[in-house]
Amino acid sequence: MINSSQFGDGGETVNSKKLKAAYVRAGYTQETLAKAMGMGVNTLNAKVNNTSKITTDEAKLMCKILGINKNSEKVDIFLS
């Protein structure tokens, strides 16, 4: 399992393409993922497109919601 220290300080740049593929594969849109995470669509869009940082807690929640369990996939998406 990836722990908080492996996500760094939450200031990492996400791999937008891989994150988008992950939420589409899980059956989500930005709108439905934002709702599941309890945030606005514009906020999520900014995080997906690297104009706003994803926190460690947000990355963990996304992994839980999207069923991302493999550490290698987490690293590929959130620590690119």
Q: Taking phi first (over 0 means left), then psi (-120 to 50 degrees means alpha), and beta for anything else, what does residue 6 get?
A: alpha
Q: Smallest Cα–Cα separation from 10: which of 51, 56, 76, 59?
A: 56
pLDDT at residue 43 is higher than 70 = yes
pLDDT of residue 11: 56
The band of 6, judged by pLDDT with boundaries at 50, 70 and 90, is: very low
Contact 18, 80 (CB under 8 A): yes
Q: Taking all residues of the chain, what is their mean pLDDT, rounded to a whole number? A: 88
Question: Domains of the chain (ranges plus CATH)?
Answer: 12-78 (1.10.260.40)
Q: Is the pLDDT of residue 5 over 50?
A: no
Q: Tell me how far apart the alpha carbons of residues 67 and 69 are, in angstroms, rounded to a whole number.
A: 6
Helix (H) or strand (E) holding 77: helix 71-78
